[in-house]
Each structure stands twice: as structure tokens, then as C-alpha cells.
A = this chain, B = another copy of it.
Amino acid sequence: MVYRDLLISMNTGEKSSSADNQQVSRNVDDDYFSGFVDGEGCFYIGFSKRDDLPMKWQILTEFHVSQNPGSKNVLNALQRRLGCGYLKPNHPKSSSDKTWILVVKDKNDLRKKVIPFFDKHPLQTTKRLDYYVFKKVVQMIEERNHLTEEGFRKIVELVFSLKRETKKRYTKEMLLAS
């Protein structure tokens, strides 16, 4: 620990006690965040059964970024920069997973803050495709297209056109059957 402390003070002038909760430099560029989100972020679209809705499904759109507790500072900085969202423990009941997550769910915040940010500072990996679909779906929901059969079907097709590494809870057939 002595070496780490020495090194930190040598390189940054920070006191060692603040190492794990270091502030993000004041001059962090917006492009830093787009690179960071390209690696660590998620533009999530999910479906939840809701018999009271016209298409029987609720469409969930969420922007997420998670980090270990030591790097929560970056989530705070991104939250401040975007001017929306909230932080919470990612798995509050887990004793081993102590990660934090920045979440933006509010559709207005997504439309007016998150999407304009990533339009201006574009992603460069294949996550860009997730982002395009996300943006399109948020826009279709805003225009109430998701409440029509045609619009809902188009959203399902869009979401299932993306490669996913995680298993989906509902298949395309299940979503389009109702």
C-alpha cells in the first residue's frame, strides 16, 4: 500500500485516502464518455407482459452503464454531464457484486438528453447498431406508433435484428403471437 500511495501522490498530487473516490478531472471531454459508453454502456430494449395495454406488452427502454465501486466517480460525472438518470447498486442483494449502475429510464430524458449526446458524440463499435435501434424505438414510442400492430411488429423486428449475447426472455414468436 505504501508504494501505491507514494505512486499516487507522485503522479497526481492527490492524497492517498482519496484514491478510490477520486474526482474525475474537470477537463474530461464529451468524447471520453462516448468511448467509455462504447465499452461499458448498454442501450436496453425489453418487453414486459401487460394485459392492460393494446398490444399486451410494455416496451422498456433504458440506458445503463455499470462500474465497480472504485470507479463510481465516472458514473457520477456522466450523470452530471447528461443532466439526468440516477445511480443505484446494481445487485443490492449480492454480497460479492458491489457494482453501481447509472440508469436513465425517463423517456423525455432519453429523447432530449441521452440521444442528442450520442448523436453528437457517436459510438464507433457495433454498439452503434444497438444505439440506432434504441433511438428509433424511443422515437416510435414518442409518436405512439408502438400502440399499433404495425408499429409494434416493426419494433419487435428491429430489436430481434440485433445480435445479442444474452439469451432473451421472450422469443419473437411469443411477442408477435398476442
Using a CB–CB cutoff of 8 Å, the interface residues on chain A facing chain B are 1-4, 7-8, 11, 19-20, 22, 24-25, 28-40, 67-68, 70-71, 73-74, 77, 121-122, 124-129, 132-133, 135-136, 154, 157-158, 161-163
**Copies of the protein in its oligomer:** 2
Q: What secondary structure prevails in chain A residues at the interface with B? A: helix
Chain B residues with Cβ below 8 Å from A2 are 157, 161
Are B126 and A20 in touch, CB under 8 angstroms?
yes
Q: Tell me, in angstroms, the Cα distance from A162 to B19 when the chains sit together.
A: 12
Q: Which residues of B contact A161 (CB under 8 A)?
A: 1-4, 7
User: Which of B3, B35, B124 is the one whose CB lies under 8 Å from A25?
Assistant: B124
B residues in contact with A129, CB < 8 Å: 4, 7-8, 19
Q: Which residues from chain B contact A35 at a C-beta distance below 8 Å?
A: 31-39
A172 nearest CB across to chain B (Å): 12
A126 x B68 contact (CB < 8 A): yes
Cβ contacts under 8 Å, A36 to chain B: 35-36, 38-39, 124
